[in-house]
Structure 1
Amino acid sequence: MFEPWSEFNVAMAGATAALAGLVIVAASVNIAEIVKSRTLTARLLAGIAALLLALAVSALGLIPDIDGPWFGAAAVVASLLAAVFQVHATRLIATDPSPEDRARPLKYLVGFLPIFAYLAAGVLVWIGHPAGLYLAAAGCLLAIVSAVVVSWVALVEVLR
């Protein structure tokens, strides 16, 4: 089931690892300002966690002879771990004293998209349905897009 996806997984593992590193380096430039904000650090961490989720699931797909149940179970566990960081960021944003931040659910809802895609992918592959791999691919692309958006917004907000 995984062989046709090997080139995609290689590309996505490399891309997400590089992007996670770039986000960390970009954040480190303004780390003194970033850590002053309750929400920025949590949002950046959730974005990095989404990229690491994409990296982990892509790497799982490259393990020789991995079967569907192992891949699916590992993808579900990795998704739940990434969800911890996204839930934390969401709680901080939702309870932020600034009413304008609380009024923008897109600030935190976008981070759940890749997690939900990976959860569904993991369950489908776990039960033997190869369509779950298409959801995993969507989850990877959503992780990249959401992490870039969250990172960009966080880094721009630091400079305001």
Structure 2
Amino acid sequence: MIEEWSEFNVAMAGATAALAGLVIVAASVNIAEIVKSRTLTARLLAGIAALVLALAVSAIGLVPGLDLTWYGVLIVVATLLMSVFQVNVTRLIAGDPNPADRARPLKYLIGFLPLAAYLVAGVLVGVGHPSGLYLAAAGCLLAIVSAIVVSWVALVEVLR
């Protein structure tokens, strides 16, 4: 089943690797303003971590002869490892002294979307259900979207 997804995985591995690099380079342009924020650096790191998760899941899916059960386990493990960054962002935003910032759950909820998709995908793939591969693809696309949103805030909104 995984072999049918090889072209998608190749495309997503390349796209997420390139996007993660671009986000890091672009952030360096406004780094002085970004580091002044209590939560922005953590949000940017969580966005990059989501891209690294998408890269890892796509790359692992290209391993020849990989068993679906192992692929599912590796997706779950990678997701749990990368979740640490999003949990940290949520904790920082929840503890933000500015009540207006704490009242905007979209600031951190968007980062949980790809993680949730990957977690469920990993379980489904691990038990051999083909819908898990579609959910993993959705997780990859959600990781790209959430990273772009976080990057936009870090790179553009910080200057307003």
Task: Render the CA deviation track for 1:82-131: whole Å, top value 9, x for unaligned.
Answer: 11000000111111111111111001000000000000010111111111
The residue identity in structure 1 corresponding to 2:14 is G
Distance 2:146 2:158 in 1: 18
Which amino acid counterpart does residue 84 of structure 2 have in structure 1? V
TM-score between the two structures when normalised by the length of structure 1? 0.98
TM-score by structure 2 length? 0.98
Matched letter for residue 157 of structure 1: E
2:2 aligns to what?
A: 2
Task: Tell me whether 1:113 sits opposite 2:113 in the alignment.
Answer: yes
| Secondary structure of 1:38 counterpart | coil
Aligned partner of 1:12 in structure 2 is: 12
- 1:69 to 2:60 alignment: no
Amino acid at match of 2:96: D
Instruction: Name the structure 1 match of 2:88.
Output: 88
For 1:1-150, what aligned pairs fall within 5 Å after superposition? 1-150=1-150
Letter in 2 for 1:100: A
Q: In 2, Cα distance between the equivalents of 1:99 and 1:155?
A: 23
The total of aligned residue pairs comes to 160
Which residue pairs with 1:151 in the alignment? Answer: 151
Tell me the distance in 2 between the aligned counterparts of 1:5 and 1:112: 24
Match of 1:77, as an amino acid?
V
Q: Which runs of at least 4 in structure 1 moved beyond 3 Å after TM superposition?
A: none
Give structure 1 stretches of 5+ with no counterpart.
none
Letter in structure 2 aligned against 1:140: C
Structure 1 distance, partners of 2:71, 2:63, is 9
SS of residue paired to 2:152: helix
The 2-side partners of 1:97 and 1:156 are apart by: 23
